[in-house]
Structure 1
Amino acid sequence: MCPHEPSCPSADALDREAARTMAAHPEQGWSLLCNGVVLFEDTGELLPDGAVIEPHRPLAGVV
């Protein structure tokens, strides 16, 4: 699916967030990545198969 060279990580790869942004809607808080993942500003994700990845933003001040 990915037309980029080198190809973007697939939606099931651990580094899936490294895929290129295809559409960005910061006013709505989400971006569509080349691999079909919808990435939300709170770091949550919606995968192409409908699976949900909970937000995983680091907690401020936690050492």
Structure 2
Amino acid sequence: MCQHQPPCPSAEATDRDAAHLVASHPEQGWSLLCNGVVHFEDTGDLLPDGQVIRPCRPGRREVAGSVT
């Protein structure tokens, strides 16, 4: 799919989100990358084969006996 030189990371690569932007829809919260990945602003991805990559959210941390 990608015609860039050097080619962008494939949809299966761990750095898939480094691919070039093809279409951006910030009002809807998503972008299409040249490797076919739909990237969501919450950091989740939808791969071309339909696989869902869950958002990467920071974990909760314990501070002085309480959870924040």
**TM-score normalised by structure 1 residue count:** 0.89
* Alpha-carbon distance in 1 for matches of 2:28, 2:14: 25
Q: How does 1:1-63 map to 2 (within 5 A)?
A: 1-59=1-59
* Alpha-carbon distance in 2 for matches of 1:50, 1:31: 16
How much has 1:61 moved relative to structure 2?
7.2
User: When you count strand as a share of all residues, which structure comes out higher?
Assistant: 2
How much has 1:57 moved relative to structure 2?
3.4
Poorly superposed stretches of 4+, deviation over 3 Å? 57-62
Identity %: 69
How many residue pairs are counted as aligned between the two chains?
62
Q: CA RMSD in A?
A: 1.7
**TM-score normalised by structure 2 residue count:** 0.83
Larger radius of gyration: 2
* Alpha-carbon distance in 2 for matches of 1:55, 1:40: 8
